Amino acid sequence: MKIETYRSTGAGGQHVNTTDSAVRITHLPTGTVAQCQNERSQHRNRERAMKFLRSKLYELELRKRREAAQKLEESKGEIAFGNQIRSYVLHPYRMVKDHRTKYETGDADRVLDGDIDPFIKTTLMSRRAVSKPG
């Protein structure tokens, strides 16, 4: 952070012309600036400017998170028939098939009881194979 002091402008009598009571704080990583010259004391102006800067940085972080969440939401596929990840066939034969990796198993009861580790493993292996060059 960069903290600068300067003389206040505007009404205030002779005191304004003799002291550097106004404060400007710049957050260097983001370039966000907060300044205050309302108080007569430099210390109070610095405290208020820090509060302003904190609130501006908080709003900036909230905006970044909202944009990231919106980008994630936009990247999601449409929820419609034919876009499912897995198919569960329970009659006349029993099978569970993962449409992303083409992995399938005939032990549907085990998958329905929560044993999806083979599906997770094949998904991770396929992602690894795609991201690995050569």
- The rounded distance, in Å, linking the Cα atoms of 21 and 7 is 6
Stated pTM of the model: 0.55
40 contacts 15 by C-beta, under 8 angstroms: yes
What domains are there in the chain, each with its CATH number?
2-75 (3.30.160.20), 86-131 (no CATH)
Whether the bond between 133 and the residue before it is cis, its omega within 30 degrees of 0, is: no
DSSP state letter for 77: P
pLDDT of residue 78: 77
pLDDT of residue 13: 58
56 contacts 34 by C-beta, under 8 angstroms: yes
- The rounded distance, in Å, linking the Cα atoms of 26 and 36 is 12
pLDDT of residue 101: 92
pLDDT of residue 102: 92
8 contacts 37 by C-beta, under 8 angstroms: yes
Low-confidence ranges of the chain (pLDDT < 50): none
How many Å separate Cα 39 from the centre of its chain? 36
pLDDT of residue 10: 63
- The rounded distance, in Å, linking the Cα atoms of 119 and 36 is 58
- The rounded distance, in Å, linking the Cα atoms of 6 and 19 is 8
- The rounded distance, in Å, linking the Cα atoms of 95 and 119 is 13
- The rounded distance, in Å, linking the Cα atoms of 20 and 46 is 12
